[in-house]
Amino acid sequence: MQVSNKAAHLIGSEIIKLAGEINALKAQGKDILNLTIGDFDPAVFPLPQALSEGIQAAYRAGETNYPPADGIAPLRAAIAQWYADALQLPCNPNTEVLVAGGGRPLIYAIYQAWVNPGEHVVYPVPSWNNNHYTYLVGGTPVELEALPENGFMPTPEQVLPTLETASLLALCSPLNPTGTVFTADGLGALCDAVLEENRRRANSGRRPVLVLYDQIYWTLTGDDTAHVHPVGLRPEMKEFTVYVDGISKSFAATGVRVGWSVGPAPLIAKMKTLLGHLGAWAPKPEQVAVARYLGTPQADQDVRVIQKASLERLLALHAGFQALKAEGFPVDSIAPQGAIYLSVRVDLPDATARLLNDAGIALVPFSAFGASATSPWFRLSVGTLHRTDIEPLLHRLRSLFA
């Protein structure tokens, strides 16, 4: 059967491919510490009880018909209130908030609603899935290889030369896969550059550069790390920024599938129409429960529990990698700042295979996120990691170099 040209050349998830190799080894009886998954093991990070009970209550109450295409009004109002309180980000719940079945449909809708075929999409690498979304809409990728000395975050010096031809600038903080964040100075400089470019475009009648800001990990920043976002730093950016967020990471609720975008009303309206045709809304019982839960003291407490547990694991692993580095082993790590990820360096030939086959440690190479194929850096995820696995992991890593 001959499929469409687009489908024929579509590349599958590199992480899913690696998962297949891991599962094959497990089927052979191999003991694998699998730290590749950007997900939570419910046995380690359970869904908050109040949210779970709220979802079950909504099902029992018969909240099982179609929701509105943009999400139920109480949830949109709860999102707007939470953003106003926690992020000082004002938005109109009726025109500037869109709810969908997780963050992925929303990112896809942003790309489809904004990027014309051939237009430039600027994004750093490593980063999650921007290459695939750019391909799906026929955009032209402009990849900026970020450096470890900058925490793998793009710098103004890298972004500035790309803005003149850019349609979309895709950013994420805290960043998947690195667990690092923008500083206020760094993001502020990027916002200033976008605003200056858009002033020039307004004079010539050209469409502005749009910033896609994925902040789905923002509640999981480190204790000494401030989350910053475009509108919070430069209020004028509200006209040019669309946010992606949801409950999947904040509340260890990846399978519950409630995400949202906040952005300019004309763009949100077209995204709503697009996702309405796809039927990509979040289930109504989950929406009802999240509307009642979001922004409550219990929700704030639950977020803190998840943040502390993930940060504890990240810091312990970072300390372990730094101890191995001090002993002269060819490893390194970047101090964790947010999300559930640690950037680690393992400088070995064929490191991915050696880690997996010789040490029973599964990590995702940054090359799976668009970085150079020779990059020695990896994403280590703690969402499925028991505290008792930390010492055995470091022991296996040490044994690899014996």
CATH of the domain at 332: 3.90.1150.10
- Which of 174, 225, 217 minimizes the C-alpha distance to 40? 217
Structure tokens given for 108: 């896809």
Residue 187: alpha-carbon gap to chain centroid: 17
Over the chain (402 residues), the average pLDDT of each successive run of 10 is 90 80 86 93 97 98 97 98 97 98 98 98 97 97 97 96 98 98 98 97 95 98 95 98 98 97 98 96 97 97 97 98 97 97 96 94 95 96 96 95 84
Q: Is residue 52 part of a domain?
A: no
Please compute, for residue 265, the number of CA atoms within 13 A of its CA located in the half-sphere on the CB side.
6
Instruction: Write down the pTM of the prediction.
Output: 0.96
Q: Is residue 131 part of a domain?
A: yes
Residue 143: alpha-carbon gap to chain centroid: 17
DSSP 292-305: HHTTSHHHHHHHHH
Tell me, yes or no, whether 233 and 328 share the same domain: no
- Helix 103-114 × helix 265-278 angle, to 10°: 120
Tell me, yes or no, whether 255 and 311 share the same domain: no
Query: According to the model, what pLDDT value does residue 372 have?
Result: 93
Q: Is residue 55 part of a domain?
A: no
Q: Is residue 273 part of a domain?
A: yes
Count of structural domains within the chain: 2
Last residue of a domain, one of 297, 315, 343: 297
Query: According to the model, what pLDDT value does residue 25 have?
Result: 83
Tell me, yes or no, whether 326 and 247 share the same domain: no
Query: According to the model, what pLDDT value does residue 83 have?
Result: 98
Query: According to the model, what pLDDT value does residue 402 have?
Result: 78
Tell me, yes or no, whether 27 and 84 share the same domain: no
Last residue of a domain, one of 259, 274, 297: 297
Q: Please report, for residues 117, 152, 219, 314, 375, the alpha-carbon distance to residue 319 in angstroms, rounded to integers and kept in the order given.
A: 46, 20, 23, 9, 22
Read off the CATH number of the domain in which 145 is found: 3.40.640.10
Q: Is residue 56 part of a domain?
A: no
Tell me, yes or no, whether 116 and 144 share the same domain: yes
Tell me, yes or no, whether 156 and 293 share the same domain: yes
Domain containing residue 182: 63-297
Contacts of 37 by beta carbon, 8 Å cutoff, 6+ apart:
19, 381, 383, 384
Tell me, yes or no, whether 160 and 304 share the same domain: no
Query: According to the model, what pLDDT value does residue 14 have?
Result: 78
Strand 97-100 versus strand 259-262 pairing type: antiparallel
Separation of alpha carbons 173 and 227, rounded Å: 8
Query: According to the model, what pLDDT value does residue 361 have?
Result: 95
Tell me, yes or no, whether 289 and 182 share the same domain: yes
Q: Is residue 293 part of a domain?
A: yes
Tell me, yes or no, whether 73 and 200 share the same domain: yes
Per DSSP (E only), the strands in 150-218 are 166-172, 210-214
Query: According to the model, what pLDDT value does residue 19 have?
Result: 80
- For residues 70 and 260, is the Cβ–Cβ distance under 8 A? no
Query: According to the model, what pLDDT value does residue 337 have?
Result: 97
Tell me, yes or no, whether 67 and 21 share the same domain: no
- For residues 378 and 288, is the Cβ–Cβ distance under 8 A? no
Tell me, yes or no, whether 87 and 229 share the same domain: yes
Separation of alpha carbons 263 and 148, rounded Å: 31
Separation of alpha carbons 56 and 286, rounded Å: 9
- Helix 49-60 × helix 284-293 angle, to 10°: 130
Last residue of a domain, one of 262, 297, 332: 297
Per DSSP (E only), the strands in 252-393 are 259-262, 331-333, 341-346, 361-362, 364-365, 377-381
Q: Is residue 58 part of a domain?
A: no
Tell me, yes or no, whether 31 and 152 share the same domain: no
Q: Is residue 54 part of a domain?
A: no
